[in-house]
């Protein structure tokens, strides 16, 4: 099992991480200039990830993604 917070904290400026779920992922998270950009990955991998929201606080970002069903 992965620890989302640990994975997100490993990001360096300009890097991204895909939150795993099934075969396609659940969310894509980018770090740019101390801001985290959250992109929703459409279910079943159909289409491109869509920008959802930006965060400065990792815990709020994680809470948001975990609330998605």
How far is Cα 33 from Cα 11, in angstroms, rounded to an integer?
11
CB contact set of 23 (below 8 Å; sequence gap of 6+): 45
Q: 3-state class of 11 per DSSP?
A: coil
Determine if the pTM surpasses 0.75. Answer: yes
For residues 19 and 65, the answer to whether their CB atoms sit within 8 Å is: yes
| CATH of segment(s) 4-67 | 3.30.720
What is the structure's pLDDT at 34?
95
What is the structure's pLDDT at 63?
95
List the pLDDT tens digit at each of the 69 positions of the chain.
679 999 999 999 999 999 887 666 789 999 999 999 999 988 765 678 899 999 999 999 999 999 986
Domain boundaries, the chain: 4-67
What is the structure's pLDDT at 22?
62
Residue with token string 């894509």: 28
How far is Cα 66 from Cα 21, in angstroms, rounded to an integer?
11
């Amino acid at each position: 099992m992965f620890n989302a917070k640990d994975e997100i904290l490993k990001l360096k400026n300009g890097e991204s991480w895909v939150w795993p779920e099934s075969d396609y992922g659940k969310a894509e998270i980018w770090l740019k200039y101390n801001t985290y950009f959250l992109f929703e990955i459409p279910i079943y991998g159909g289409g491109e990830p869509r920008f959802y929201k930006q965060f400065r606080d990792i815990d709020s970002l994680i809470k948001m993604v975990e609330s998605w069903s």
